[in-house]
Amino acid sequence: MYTTLNLEFLNVDSGIIYSLQKITTKQNLVTFHCQSIWDSTSNELVADQDFLHLLDNGTFCLL
């Protein structure tokens, strides 16, 4: 049985919302692979980009 989990994060500093694609681990490092999907400050769709180590790059809130 599989469960689909959709998580979105808001970067409080930039106002960009990210959609979590996958989580990988290597030794003690956890990497969050995400795509930017929306700029909440300008209310525009942002080009898809991959971001690694998401939570080390600013302050984020789980939406």
- Distance in angstroms (rounded) separating the CA atoms of residues 16 and 10: 6
Give the largest CA-CA distance in the chain. Answer: 40
* pLDDT score, position 1: 57
Measured in Å, how far apart are the chain's first and last C-alpha atoms? 25
Predicted TM-score of the model (pTM)? 0.46
Tens digit of each residue's pLDDT, the chain (63 residues): 556 667 777 777 777 777 777 777 777 777 777 776 777 777 776 655 554 444 444 555 555
Could you tell me if 9 and 53 are in contact, meaning their C-beta atoms sit under 8 angstroms apart? no
Q: Residue ranges per domain, the chain? A: 6-38
Quote the pLDDT of residue 19: 78
And the tokens for 59?
């302050």
pLDDT of 49 reads 54
What is the per-residue pLDDT for 17? 77
